[in-house]
Structure 1
């Protein structure tokens, strides 16, 4: 290519005005915002989009169902910090992805779903056009921050920029962009790519920081509750906890932000009565990046959480939604925590100076003694928590220890709405800041773990990834074993098999009902994985699981490992 031709190509990609199809305009806008990976399935109406993915440097992974595409893109976004991209065709394909989009909305994940739609002048009266439905945008508005139907090729770039502006400046949520199918192939002039502006971190109010710092510095029984919104402020959270002698408890999405082996950590245990009692006894609770919702507490939120609740969140609505904030810090979590650390140190310095002035003492407040007391208190609460669930959790804990012993510290675990995950792995599989645990909180979809693991592995192929699931949830998306086999990347899938829907079975029994529709015939899942082109084994002991897992982490493609589990007595 000559220099002049190269300039023309670069200008067409992102700079000068050019005539192009709506499909190219869409892909060009995605690439300009840094998208380099997309998940989806080609269909009759979206071929003009697929035509341009490779020329614009966007890799594509084809799952076996659009719901799998949504979960995979969701997981890639969680681990990379870049919005996940899903490409669907019209009608049923888009609706197939809707459950995954709802999960991303619940967990505040930046996800961009692009699809064709009915033609611009499509009549309101049904005509029987392929994949026709009354309104895709109306359907998707229920599970997205917004659903935007464009009306020209030029508008496509603005719609993509609007999506990335939301991702960068507020609480991340999924977005849907619909391009009428006649616009996808229409050639129209478009200008330079419209780019979402770079966004700086939102600082908190100085007055709110001072008020919060004063309350925390003087608290005798402080605590930190960390949600997914605190993910980028992990070092600051740990420093503040240590400075205050505050115990730390997290939501599922906050798992591992502070190392769960730290003596101040209670891990993911907001659902535990002894932990909730410890929080109720606190005189100051700092909640960072969490809704403090029923899905976090597993019960209806109490009227109050401690004597004083300080909330840090990028979303102003969280200050009065659910548990009302007594002190509200609206802004980026890292900026807020850094400001709090500085302000608490200043308050402590003033208190120390006052003590020295009054008593001639050479030391400030007894922070380290307070920290030792906090360590002892955390150990006591942790012991009470584990004792209360020891019988129930005994069927998972030895296996989870075996998993932890084999897998790297920076591994990613993907999870499902399964007993082995929320009763087992969330509280009993310790994680540090280098690792990640991706769990479908809130919306609580089944079938997340396997396609999510595919998404992480596609985005970060060198990283160890382990999917954890139950037999019931796995079969919602079991076909994604084929996707994993096609990628030929090592991917262990550990399935605790209790012969059906164990949680619902237990709930029926607790009501005094005869369990119905929850016992499923056992499936030879390892054999199914082998049929898809992977490997599969049964592991009836923790030692067998450790051996199989170590091998699976070195074997290209998926390895499905079942752990037989008897239903709860």
Structure 2
């Protein structure tokens, strides 16, 4: 294709398609219709959520599964404010998300004249939850602005990028020409830093590797590093399943005493792509995380390297590029540092240190994992998810993620699971959500039905906000506001044409999962914490 004239909206769709976008999530409105002009003729699939927050969460789940930016297309005003919660979750968890919104006509911006969907400063409103935000004032700037957006999404710490297009710009003609998307990578470590780290690896007597969400794209390279230096690998919530089933894997929270003891006894700790934030490393806010000897931090974000525990070596690099450079320095060395024994001892101590109720809930998670090999479990903030975040080995990389960490948004699970399913259509996805959190995004059952997402909604019903009620009692506070009534979820599912079942006994779970996984489209299973036998210890 040579130079052609198209509207800004049509050219935008071409640019998205050229950059590998195959799904967008959004609800069209009069402030975005011109952005839809080229959509029907493209190969991009449009998925309509029931709420713009759902669009953001769907984009989040899609991005986590594919590694590509999830794209949300939103109207100005309430469309973008509805999506801010989803953007904040993605910002906290470093998930690539491209949010494209409308904004009122250029001449009206900043005047406060009461235009429909007007915000005093929409771009400023979005800035605090965006890695980049830009208003497209000139139509001709679209290609360079979008190139910059994808550069930020691909080569820096991931997170939401927001581009807003005024309504009087969307239908303007611009001359465009076909261009191939550029594949960018993150920063690469200095060779001197790689040499120092290699020497530390060779000299360590009891090394441990910490892996966060920034490491999920490199499971085999991390496995090779761990085996080479014989180091247990502790995975945070967003890295669970990274070394599924490996003797060196420690799928337990650094907030647990057993994991902290493992780290405290180590003489070298290599932290790969982990923020080392409070919700992973000090979940109970007890200040008990140990001081680490010879901590090495590897992160794509230079600012993050200045935060958190003191490190003897800070390396600015993507995890993948760092391992590409480090492994050749170590690949011929095989040592015995009792890594598997140290990992097993930590796993055993971590699990035994949990309450019987938590171990029962973890057993339920293991039933899901084992009944549907290769499945993905997407969670909301609910009790079984909290237990799994403390200890659970997902069956595969990217097989476990939820909103009970980082920003901690309720209602995340159902739409995110839909996005995950669209990212890997042939993979069974189980959304574990509480009766309280489900009501934040209950209507997204309809979205799942519309797009035939292979999601099994597993509702953990404890008649309200059980975790908060328990916490209030532990604090000596009379529980208040924690028992909102719930609908009959099976009737809701039936109203949307979604098959469902309420379990009498948890032993029925495996067969129910397998039965629903064999059909196309969503399904719903309810477990009641007290009415379903075996749900609690």
| Coarse TM-score class (shorter-chain normalised) | over 0.9
State the match for 1:52 in structure 2: 38
The answer as to whether partners of 1:310 and 1:326 remain within 8 angstroms in 2 is yes
Partners of 2:63 and 2:70 within 8 A in 1: yes
> Are positions 1:438 and 2:422 aligned together?
no
Contact (CA 8 Å) 1:400, 1:425: kept in 2 or not? no
- Relative to structure 1, is the Cα distance of residues 568 and 502 closer, same or farther in structure 2, using a 3 angstrom cutoff? farther
Q: CA deviation at 1:284?
A: 0.5
Partner SS state of residue 52, structure 1: coil
Segment drifting more, 518-527 vs 43-52: 518-527
- Indicate if the aligned counterparts of 1:491 and 1:556 stay in contact, CA closer than 8 A: no
8 Å contact from structure 2 (residues 262, 346) kept in 1: yes
Which stretch of the first structure deviates more once superposed, 234-243 or 223-232? 234-243
What is the aligned length? Answer: 530
Indicate whether 1:219 and 2:204 are aligned: yes
Are the aligned partners of 2:255 and 2:289 in contact in 1 as well (CA < 8 Å)?
no
Structure 1 residue 303: Cα displacement: 7.4
Specify every segment of 5 or more residues in structure 1 that has no aligned partner in the other structure, as ranges.
1-9, 349-364
Match of 1:278 in 2: 262
The answer to whether residue 85 in structure 2 is matched with residue 102 in structure 1 is no
The aligned counterpart of 2:7 is: 21
Please point out which of 447, 451, 458 is paired with 1:483.
Answer: 447
Using the alignment, how far apart are the partners of 1:271 and 1:563 within structure 2?
28
Following superposition, the deviation at residue 291 of structure 1 comes to 0.6
Which deviates further from its counterpart, 26-35 or 140-149? 26-35
Contact (CA 8 Å) 1:526, 1:538: kept in 2 or not? Answer: yes
Name the counterpart of 2:422.
458
SS in 1 for 2:145: helix
Match of 1:397 in 2: 362
Cα distance, 1:568 vs structure 2: 8.5
- What is the aligned counterpart of 1:184 among 136, 147, 170? 170
Unpaired segments ≥5 residues, structure 2: none
**Contact 2:362-2:384 at 8 Å conserved across structures:** no
Distance in 2 (alpha carbons) for counterparts of 1:465 and 1:44: 34
Describe the shift of the 1:303–1:386 C-alpha distance in structure 2 as closer, same or farther (beyond 3 A): closer
Report the secondary structure of 1:286's partner residue: strand
2:234 aligned partner: 249
Please state if 1:85 is matched with 2:102.
no
Determine whether 1:554 maps to 2:511.
no
**Which of 118, 141, 145 is the equivalent residue of 1:159?**
145
Q: 1:516 to 1:81 in 2, by over 3 A?
A: same
CA distance in 2, matches of 1:80, 1:429: 21
Q: Which residue of 2 aligns with 1:501?
A: 465
Instruction: Write the mapping of 1:302-317 to structure 2, written as runs, cut at 5 A.
Output: 305-317=291-303
Q: CA deviation at 1:200?
A: 4.3
Shift of 1:253: 0.8
**Structure of higher CA gyration radius:** 1
Matched, 1:31 2:17: yes
Shift of 1:538: 0.7
TM-score normalised by length of structure 2: 0.94
Taking structure 1 as reference, are residues 545 and 63 closer, same or farther at Cα in structure 2, changes over 3 Å only? same
Q: Shift in Å at residue 553 of structure 1?
A: 0.8
Contact persistence 2:240–2:393 (CA under 8 A) = no
Structure 1 distance, partners of 2:461, 2:297, is: 40
Q: Provide the C-alpha distance between the structure 2 equivalents of 1:123 and 1:424, rounded to a whole number of angstroms.
A: 47
Q: Are 2:420 and 1:420 aligned?
A: no
For the residues of structure 1 that align with 2:238 and 2:193, how far apart are their CA atoms? 26
- Do the aligned residues in 1 keep the contact of 2:13 with 2:39 (CA within 8 Å)? yes
Give yes or no for contact 1:399–1:541 (8 Å, CA) kept in 2: no
Change beyond 3 A, Cα 1:343–1:507: same
| Residues 139-188 of structure 1, C-alpha deviations (whole Å, 9 max, x = no match) | 100101121001121112222111101112111121110000111123x3
Matched, 1:262 2:246: yes
For normalisation by structure 1, the TM-score amounts to 0.89
**Match in the other structure for 1:469:** 433
Deviates more, 1:95-104 or 1:24-33: 24-33
**Secondary structure, in 3 states, of the residue corresponding to 2:174?**
strand
Aligned counterparts of 1:232 and 1:490: Cα–Cα separation in 2: 23
- Tell me the distance in 2 between the aligned counterparts of 1:303 and 1:495: 34
Query: Does structure 1 retain, via aligned residues, the 8 Å contact 2:252–2:350?
Result: no
Shift in Å, 1:271: 2.1
Q: Is the 8 A contact 1:529 1:558 kept in 2?
A: no
Matched residue of 1:224: which SS?
A: strand
8 A contact 2:493–2:524 mirrored in 1: yes
Contact 1:120 1:182 (8 Å CA) reproduced: yes
Preserved CA contact (<8 Å) 2:252 2:389: no
- Structure 2: distance between partners of 1:520 and 1:319: 42
SS of the residue aligned with 1:43? coil
Q: Does 1:293 align with 2:277?
A: yes
Q: Give the superposition deviation at 1:196.
A: 5.8
Compute the displacement of 1:302 (Å). 6.1
| 1:544 match | 508
1:523-560, Cα deviation, whole Å (9 max, x unpaired)? 31122111122011111322211121111112333211
Deviates more, 1:546-555 or 1:398-407: 398-407
